[in-house]
Structure 1
Amino acid sequence: MNGMLLAAGVTAAGVAVIHLVAGHADVVRPLLASTLAQVPKRTMHSVWHLVSADLVFAAAALVYLGLVQPEGTRLVGLLLAAHFAAYAGVFLAITLTFDGSSRLFRLPQWLLLLPVAVLALLGSV
C-alpha cells in the first residue's frame, strides 16, 4: 500500500464531492438561470459535467494506485500529480486577476486541488 497515493485519492474524492455539491449550487444553478445564450450556456454546463467525471475518475485512479500499486504506478501517479497541479495553477492564475486583499480566496478551488497534487507527487517519487 502507498499511503500518500491513497491519501491523494481520498482527498481527491472529497474535492469531487465538494465540486458536485457546492459547484451545483454556486455555479450550475446560476449559470442555467442566466440570460447567457444557449450555446455557451450549454457548453459551460457540459464542461462542468466533464470536470465532475474527471475528478471522480482521477480520485478512483489514485485510490486504486494507492491500494494495489500495479505496474506503472509511478508514471500514472506523476501524471495525476501534474493534472491536479495544472488545475490548481489555472484557478490560482485566474483568482489573481481579482482586485483586493482577499483575492486569493475569491476562487479557493486551488486550495483543494493543490494538496492532491502534492500528495500524488510525494507518493510517486
Structure 2
Amino acid sequence: MNGWLLAGGITAFGVSAVHIVAGRRDVVRPLLSCGLADEPKRVFHAVWHMVTVDLVLSAAALLYLALAEDTSATSLVAWFVAAHFVAYTVVFLVVTLSVGWPKPLLRLPQWILLLPVAVLTAAGAA
C-alpha cells in the first residue's frame, strides 16, 4: 500500500465533497438564477459537473493506485494526477492574482484545497 497516494486520494475525495456542497451553494445556484443568457449559463453548469466528475474520478484513481500492487503504470498515472492538480492550482492562482483584489489568495481559496492533493500524489509517485 502506498500511504502517500492513499492520503492524496482521501484528500481528493474531501476536495470533491467541498466542490459538490459549497460549489452548488456558492456557484451553481447563483449562476442558474443570474441574468446570463441560457446557452453560456448551461455551458458553465455543464463544466461545473464535468469538474465534479473529474475530481471524483481522480480521487478514485488515487485510492485504487494506493491499494493496488505497484506496477510500472502506477507512477505514470500518479504523476499525471499530480500534474492535473498542479494545473488546477495554477489556474486558480493566475485567475485570482490577475483580478487585483485585496487579499486575493483568500478570495478564491480553491487552490488551498487542490495543492495538497498535488503534493501528496507527487510524493507517492516518487
TM-score range, shorter chain: over 0.9
- Corresponding position of 1:54: 54
How far, CA to CA, are the matches of 1:123 and 1:23 in structure 2?
Answer: 28
Deviation at 1:70, TM superposition (A): 4.4
How far, CA to CA, are the matches of 2:119 and 2:70 in structure 1?
Answer: 21
Where does structure 1 lack aligned partners over 5 or more consecutive residues? none
- TM-score (ref. length: structure 2): 0.96
Letter in 2 for 1:68: A
Deviation at 1:119, TM superposition (A): 0.5
Letter in 1 for 2:22: A
- TM-score (ref. length: structure 1): 0.97
Where does structure 2 lack aligned partners over 5 or more consecutive residues? none
Contact 1:95 1:106 in 2 (8 A): yes
Q: Which runs of 4+ in 1 moved over 2 A?
A: 98-101
Once superposed, what is the RMSD of the aligned Cα atoms? 0.9
Equivalent residue of 1:97, what SS? helix
Aligned length: 125
Letter in 1 for 2:15: V
Between the aligned residues of both structures, percent identity stands at: 57
- Corresponding position of 1:117: 118
